[in-house]
Amino acid sequence: MQLNHIAGNSYFLDGDNGVGVYVFSDRTCLLVDSGSSASQAKKIMTVLSEEGLQIETIFNTHAHVDHCGGNQYLQTQCQCRIIASPLAAAIIENPILGPAMLFTAYPLRVLRSRILMASPSKVDQIIGPGSLLIKNELFQIYDLPGHSLGQTGLATPDGVVFLGDSLMHPRMLQEYPFLYMVDITRQLETLAFIGSQKWPFVLLTHGGLVEDLGDCAEKNQARIAVIAQEILTLLDQRRSHEEILAAMLIQYDLSANSGQYYLVSSTIAAFISYLSEQKMIKNRVEQGVMKFYRGSFRDRKEESTGKG
């Protein structure tokens, strides 16, 4: 792991989970996310200490473990403050909420693991979109929901924008073509917003710096459209959520461990909700099983006229 310069006082620490760094004039610094674990956080602190930097603030883009897993360690070691959105803060302070949302109840033991639950940490400041002043330096916060609830991005005074997991780097899309999302409509809105921007420097947690932001956003939009169409095709026949999930797990050759199963299950539910909102599918309970199916043109016409 090493500290890489982007522009001005903005840097990033490379690795599987890239961490943003902004250096203030007094050699204190702000981190954008904290890595996936205490061990990664320890490496972060060591590298920054060797550069004569002291961690003073953590800005969490969202509450997934690979973004806030180092919070507790760094907060204990550095007494740093943590900033996050209201929804992210709720999960950061109460990590059980993450797997509980996946399981829709108190989660299985296998879901209460360090892969899906970070150690709890205290969020000191709740923020929303707009300007954020830290030590007389002006940052900008962007609301970027879709991949997760309450995800935000941070722009530094240098014009460097840290976008978390709001979109996937084209290189990562080739390796991981099935995207994890909880709200498809909000994700598409986020991608449209990002694609319209002319930010000079953009860093993603997975994949690093983005060279062509518009192209990256378009590739993500296209991937969502492909997945939506694949699910629609499955729903030419009536299928349950579990049947759709099984078909997609097999199609994308996704590992069938419990954590992956419920992560993909959550994304399938998000697509079902999206397609239902778009009036492209319908649902009914048949013999005790909720079934989803593709609505016909007649179905959609009747619903739009209030006859359905």
As beta bridge partners, residue 31 has 21, 58
* Contact criterion met (CB below 8 Å) for 15 and 44: no
* Contact criterion met (CB below 8 Å) for 13 and 3: yes
**What single string gives the DSSP state of each residue in 96-119?**
THHHHHHHTSSPPGGGSSTTT-PP
Determine the pLDDT at residue 303: 46
Determine the pLDDT at residue 255: 76
Tokens representing residue 93 in the block: 């302070």
Closest to 133 in 3D by CA, of 152, 153, 154, 149 = 154
Q: Report the Cα–Cα distance between both ends of the chain, in Å, rounded.
A: 59
- Given the DSSP bridges, would you call strands 81-84 and 54-59 parallel, antiparallel or unpaired? parallel
Task: Say if pTM beats, i.e. exceeds, 0.85.
Answer: yes
Determine the pLDDT at residue 16: 75
Determine the pLDDT at residue 184: 98
Determine the pLDDT at residue 8: 97
pLDDT digits (tens, 9 = 90+) for 132-167: 999 999 999 999 999 999 999 999 999 999 999 999
Determine the pLDDT at residue 31: 98
Domains with residue ranges and CATH for the chain: 3-224 (3.60.15.10), 236-304 (1.10.10)
Residues of the chain with pLDDT under 70: 296-308
Contacts of 236 (CB under 8 A, 6+ apart): 293, 294
SS3 79: coil
